Homo-oligomer: A and B are copies of this chain.
Amino acid sequence: MAYKNLDLEKTTQLCRKVFASYGFSEADCERITDILLTADLFGIESHGIQRLIRYYNELSWGLVDAHAEWEIVKETPVSAMIDAHSMMGQVAAYHGMAMAIEKAKRNGVGLVAMRGSNHYGIAGYYSKMACDNDLIGLCMTNTSAIMVPTFGKRPMIGTNPIALAMPADPTPFLYDAATTVVARGKFEVYDKKGLPVPLGWAIDEEGVDCTDPARVIRNLNEENDGGIMPLGGPGEQHAGYKGYGLGMIVEICTSILAMGETSDLIVTKGDNHSHISHFFAAFDYGMFGDKAKIKAYFSDYLEKIRQSPKAKGQSRIYIHGEKELENCAARRQSGIPVNEKTFAEIQFVCRERGIDYRPYIGETF
C-alpha cells in the first residue's frame, strides 16, 4: 500500500480541531493529539493516526464519553483508585499518570489503579511522562482478550502491555511491549502480504498451532476459540507460561486492583462501555541514593551493553527506546507517513465533524 507523509505541524492542528469538536478542553485536545501522533513519530503506526477512525467510532457510539468526569473512589498519600466513567482513554490516562507523578514527588511513590477507561494509545507515552520528570515510570493496561493461557484455547487475557521508563543518558530506557508474543497488528500485516505467520505465534479454534493469519484474525473477530500465544509461545518448551504469567500480573495490577472488567469481559464495540483498566506508577529513585550517580551508573551499563560483541551478522545492539527516539527525530523532519486508507479515513472523520481538512492535508492522496 502506498504511503505519503503528512506535515507534522499541520496534522497536529487538524487533530486538535477534531477533538475540540467534541468539547474537550484546549489542553486535553493538545494531549490527545500528542499521544496519538507520538505513536506515529515513534514508528508505532498501529497506535497512531490510523486509529483516529476508531476513536471517532467510539465517541459516536457513546462508548467514549467526551463529557465524563472521573471519580476518585479511594485515595492515600501514595495511591489512588479511580473510576474514569468512560472518559476518553488518553485524557483519563494522562491525568492518572500526572497524579502518580505528583504523589511520587511528594512521597516517593505514586500508584494509580483505574477502571472504566478506554483505549489509551501507547502505554509507553505515560511511563515516559514520569521519566521526563526524572522518575521511574510504569504503566500497564488490560485490553479485550486475545491471549490464550498455556494449555488453553480460549482467549482469556489481553495483549496486556507493560511499559517501564528509566532516565539515562544520552537517551532514556523506554520499554513498552505486549505480554503476547506479538500484537494483533502483525497478523494483519502478514495477511496483507499473503504470508504465513511463524509457527508459535497462534493457535486455531481447536487449540492447534496455526500459521494462517486470516484464520487467527477471523477467530478473534468472531469470538471463536483460538488466539495469540503469550510471550514464549505455546506449551512449555519455550516457556510460554512465563508470558502467560506476565499477562496475569498486568491483569492483577489493572482490572483486579480496580475491580474493573477482566480482559475476557471487555467489549470495545457498541455503546456498552468498554471498562478497560489501567495502572500508573511513578517512583522517585532518589529514595535509594543520589539520583545523578544512579543515572550515570545506569548510563554506563547501557553503554557497556551497546559496545558488547555482536552476534554473527549483526552490527548493533539496541537499548529499548532507541529505535523509537531515532524514528521520532527523523519523522519530525520528514512528517508522518499514512497510507491511502488512513488518509481517506481522516477526511471522512473531518467531514463528519464539519472540519475543512484541505488547508491541513489537502484533497488528494
Interface set, chain A 283-297, CB cutoff 8 A to B: 283, 285, 287-289, 293-294, 297
Contact for A301 among B81, B262, B305, CB less than 8 A: B262
Given the complex of chains A and B, what is the CA–CA distance between A108 and B108 in angstroms? 12
Determine the chain B residues whose CB is within 8 A of the CB of A262 once the complex forms: 301, 304
Contact B151 A310 (CB under 8 A): yes
Given the complex of chains A and B, what is the CA–CA distance between A297 and B175 in angstroms? 30
Contact B208 A311 (CB under 8 A): yes
Q: How far is the CB of A40 from chain B (nearest CB, A)?
A: 21
Contact B317 A149 (CB under 8 A): yes
A321, closest chain B residue (CB): B245
Given the complex of chains A and B, what is the CA–CA distance between A115 and B140 in angstroms? 28
A180, closest chain B residue (CB): B239
Contact B108 A248 (CB under 8 A): no
Q: A207-B314, A285-B257 are in contact. Are A309 and B225 (CB under 8 A)?
A: yes
Given the complex of chains A and B, what is the CA–CA distance between A342 and B314 in angstroms? 42
Question: Does A54 touch B at the CB level, under 8 Å?
Answer: no
Contact A208 B74 (CB under 8 A): no
| Identical copies in the complex | 2
Question: Does A340 touch B at the CB level, under 8 Å?
Answer: no
Contact A242 B252 (CB under 8 A): no
Given the complex of chains A and B, what is the CA–CA distance between A151 and B287 in angstroms? 34
**Digit string of A241-276 for contact with B (CB within 8 Å is 1, else 0)?**
111111011011001111100101000000000000
Question: Does A164 touch B at the CB level, under 8 Å?
Answer: yes
Question: Does A337 touch B at the CB level, under 8 Å?
Answer: no
Q: A259-B289, A297-B259 are in contact. Are A239 and B316 (CB under 8 A)?
A: no
**Digit string of A177-209 for contact with B (CB within 8 Å is 1, else 0)?**
101011000000000000000101101001110
Determine the chain B residues whose CB is within 8 A of the CB of A149 once the complex forms: 305, 308, 317
Given the complex of chains A and B, what is the CA–CA distance between A61 and B294 in angstroms? 31
A319, closest chain B residue (CB): B248
Contact A156 B304 (CB under 8 A): yes
Contact A248 B200 (CB under 8 A): no
Given the complex of chains A and B, what is the CA–CA distance between A234 and B310 in angstroms? 12
Question: Does A13 touch B at the CB level, under 8 Å?
Answer: no
Given the complex of chains A and B, what is the CA–CA distance between A304 and B245 in angstroms? 15
Determine the chain B residues whose CB is within 8 A of the CB of A74 once the complex forms: 287-289
Contact A314 B78 (CB under 8 A): no
Contact for A76 among B108, B316, B317, CB less than 8 A: B108
Given the complex of chains A and B, what is the CA–CA distance between A288 and B244 in angstroms? 24
In addition to A175-B246, A198-B237, 18 A-B residue pairs with Cβ atoms within 8 Å of each other are A74-B288, A77-B107, A77-B108, A79-B287, A81-B287, A109-B109, A111-B283, A153-B309, A156-B308, A164-B249, A175-B248, A179-B242, A181-B238, A200-B238, A231-B243, A248-B320, A256-B301, A259-B297
Can you show 6 pairs from A to B with CB atoms below 8 A apart?
A151-B314, A181-B232, A206-B312, A207-B313, A208-B311, A251-B301
Residues of A near any B CB (own CB < 8 A): 73-74, 76-79, 81, 107-109, 111, 113, 136, 148-154, 156, 162, 164, 166, 173, 175, 177, 179, 181-182, 198, 200-201, 203, 206-208, 225, 231-234, 237-239, 241-246, 248-249, 251-252, 255-259, 262, 264, 283, 285, 287-289, 293-294, 297-298, 301, 304-305, 308-314, 316-318, 320
| A-B CB proximity, top 4 nearest | A207-B311, A79-B287, A151-B314, A81-B288
